[in-house]
Amino acid sequence: MLSDVTTPQDLDDRFRETLAALPAAERRRDPADPVTDDAPLTGAQVLDLFDAQVTSRQLDLAGRWLRSFGEGFYTIGSAGHEGNAAVAAALRPTDPALLHYRSGAFYCLRAAQVAADPTLVTDSQPSADPDQDDDRVRAVGAERSADSGSTVDGASTRAPEPTADPQVSESERDGTEPSGAANGFAAYAEAARDVLRGMVASSLEPIAGGRHKVFGRADLAIVPTTSTIASHLPRAVGMGLAVERLRRLDSAGRRTGAGVRVGSGAGATHAPWPPDAIVVCSFGDASVNHASATAAFNTAGWYDHAGLRIPVLFVCEDNGLGISVRSPEGWVEATLRAKPGIRYFSADGVDPVRTYEVAAEAAAWVRRNRRPAVLHLRTVRLMGHAGADSESAYRSPAELAEDLDRDPVAATARLLVDAGVATGEELLARYDETGWQVRRLAEEVLGEPKLASAADVVSALAPRRPVRVARAVADAAARASGPGAGARAEAFGGKPPELAGPMTLAQSINAALADGMLDHPQMALFGEDVAAKGGVYGVTKGLRDRFGAARVFDTLLDETSVLGLGLGAGLAGMLPVPEIQYLAYLHNAEDQLRGEAATMRFFSQGAFRNPMVVRVAGLAYQEGFGGHFHNDNSVAVLRDVPGLVVAVPARPDDAAPMLRTCLASAAVDGSVCVFLEPIALYHTRDLYTDGDGEWLAGYPEPGGWVAGHVPIGRARVYRVGSADDLTIITFGNGVRMSLRAAAVLAEEGVGTRVVDLRWLAPLPVADIIRESSATGRVLVVDETRRSGGVGEGVIAALVDAGYVGAARRVAGVDSFVPLGPAARHVLVSAEAITDGARTLLAR
């Protein structure tokens, strides 16, 4: 069956030959008994493992078959890694899992666990609509029922009971051919269909909807991972930290069954997993060398060393190869053993009983101690890296034969036959029946619809519901002025910010963060130097004292880990607000935004989300303090990320409402927002002349929040003079410089409209077109660079809209920002804006 699509090693034929050669045991063993005298698994449980492994193997073969005639689009398989089924059996189905792309058997086994006991199911995410949360969250008891099998420190030792192929009957034990092979597949059919739909890009695929082939499903607590080289590991650490934090909540939260409800009112959310859950994430041996993996291990160990608990089980599936590059002998073990603060376990993935024993021990240790551990699972790789991979180019025939001898599915079959649970012929019948069933499902999904339009593709990317966001802001205002007024007054020491007089940009952000912490009980603020120091520029000053170290805390100095903590915390039901100290430092970790944060809804059709507001101090123009690390004007990478919201507040009276909008959008729609704060404007007080105080602004009382609400993608327009002659479109530091230039032009009789974009993604295109058309002359002032800068997007929007007036750009030079006075040669100045406007007006 399907032997024509195996690799040259002909894995299918080899498996058949192995089973045919296995001699029957002298006596049959009752499947209800341990598979060997001292084994923790019964024969029936090992049969379940075998069925999961076989389903995964047949899916790999089907993937090659589909690809052979152009109907399959994914051939990276799990062959050789099927031992991870035993890892799944050692965990609870409610332990969130982030799986790499060789996890077919794990996925099948977990799907069968939930199919066998649907009461284990929990929604993995709170509803985007808080009104629906109570309907969506199903209480999941952390304790197993009396008939659910024995436990090891709370970890189930029971693989799923066969749903339609129960234990072998007396006649079968007497040697009669088993009659249940056809029914044994029933427990795995749904999982098989899921995987096949991913292979053919079916829009009916349950997690990504045809956008990518991933292992993920909300009801299985399997979070899709969008990368294969360890970029999901920092998220796993963040999930572990959040799970433990939510578990330890006292009066601030209430446990509901297996979940934790955080806070109360509209700002509340649900922790999606049981309070004693652990996080499991798997990856390949080559990935231990990746910077993201190093960051995750280091962060987990760092927090453990500091006394904070992170219940994460890392699973390294080591087949010795990264595509064609070998992991040096002993390197992976030496690397994993050397990670401080992380307990090391190891097992041979070819041995299902030993793999289960060690995985159960590791999971129990993590669950009991709430500390990180790594399971080093030795595997083999069969059928190459993917369909196009010719292993003979870099592996010898002897190596390939050695891996074939260590086929984990054959090893499980050998165990079952040697124990007398089944004969080779019986197992081959199960294998063949599963193969035919998988082939039948493959043929069925071939005819399913594909994504039919660009609208279909992007529908799950980043929903925008501005009415609901505005309503969330209004509700927050009502709470702040009503039932929360007392707590608010106490938090601000009896003097709310609206009574503090005119504020700077930094002070306004600080006050808005405090109001956000009051309204969102699940909100946490963290990053480098944000707690005791209050931030390098004092923006978070005093917030730790007001809200405690559990909600405002310092992290280690690693941007990948800062964002990873935020990603995991958001996925766990929190509202994280991480800070990146300088924009230049974001580039060290930008894939956590691009490849992990922004893609979560896209690859899960909204079943999972990671709401987050990332505060970044950035842009240039710091006087007396500089160099490109502290004056970075490169934002192109942010604007290039689909669905990402990028906000740039220039004025204090914009900063607070924009931050409230970002927090509300994250809570309501699961948005990922970058709140880019212009460093040079943090403490600016004056606009035109020293001492005029015109860059300061008062902080609105809650009653004014609704009227001052700033929707995502709406600009602000300043009118100077008649405002009929020229439109200047700008943002950030450019707003202040453009207003100064407009004042000079007004003395020359020129009326100017200064448009503050405020949002770099999505751009306020409607406002751009309207204000540009009003004058017919547009000067785009872009403090970023000419190449890849914001101005390119503005000009493109004008062209796309059919704008026929005059247009010109004043932009930064394509250069890094140098130190000291040299910076003036590459950055935009008010004088350059004035000169650019005069040139444009002279046309």
Active site residues: 630
Secondary structure (DSSP) of 20-66: HTPPPPSS---TTSBSSTT-SSBHHHHHHHHHHHHHHHHHHHHHHHH
Structure token digits, residue 230: 């360890």
Partners of 269 in the β-ladder: 262
Among the residues of 122-227, which ranges form H helices?
133-136, 170-173, 181-184, 186-199
CB atoms < 10 A from the CB of 313, how many? 28
Structure token digits, residue 10: 């002909």
User: Are the CB atoms for 77 and 63 separated by under 8 Å?
Assistant: yes
**619: nearest Cα among 364, 395, 309, 827:** 827
Among the residues of 484-601, which ranges form H helices?
485-491, 505-519, 543-547, 559-571, 583-586, 590-591
Helices (H) and strands (E) in the chain, counts: 29, 25
Structure token digits, residue 65: 């078959």
DSSP letter at 699 equals P
Residues in the chain, total: 843
Secondary structure (DSSP) of 88-103: HHHS-TTS-EE--TT-
Q: How far apart (Å, rounded) are the C-alpha atoms in residues 195 and 213?
A: 7
Among the residues of 200-327, which ranges form H helices?
233-247, 291-305
Kindly report the backbone phi and psi dihedral angles of residue 208, in degrees, each rounded to the nearest multiple of 5, phi listed first.
Answer: -95, -10
Q: How far apart (Å, rounded) are the C-alpha atoms in residues 210 and 276?
A: 34
DSSP letter at 538 equals S
Q: How far apart (Å, rounded) are the C-alpha atoms in residues 584 and 629?
A: 5
Sheet holding 312-318, edge to edge: 222-223, 97-98, 279-284, 312-318, 373-378, 343-348
Cα–Cα distance list, 499 to 259, 514, 682, 698 (Å) = 40, 15, 20, 8
DSSP letter at 153 equals T
Kindly report the backbone phi and psi dihedral angles of residue 32, in degrees, each rounded to the nearest multiple of 5, phi listed first.
Answer: -75, -15
Q: How far apart (Å, rounded) are the C-alpha atoms in residues 7 and 505?
A: 63
User: Are the CB atoms for 378 and 346 separated by under 8 Å?
Assistant: yes
Q: How far apart (Å, rounded) are the C-alpha atoms in residues 477 and 495?
A: 17
Backbone dihedral region for residue 749 (phi beyond 0: left; psi -120 to 50: alpha; all else: beta): left
H/E run at residue 665? helix 652-669
Q: How far apart (Å, rounded) are the C-alpha atoms in residues 634 and 838?
A: 28
Among the residues of 217-370, which ranges form H helices?
233-247, 291-305, 331-337, 352-369
**216: nearest Cα among 70, 302, 103, 314:** 103
Say how far residue 698 (Cα) sits from the centre of its chain: 37
CB atoms < 10 A from the CB of 466, how many? 17
Q: Measured on CA atoms in the order 125, 126, 127, 132, is the torsion positive or negative?
A: positive
Q: How far apart (Å, rounded) are the C-alpha atoms in residues 670 and 128?
A: 7
CB atoms < 10 A from the CB of 390, how many? 12
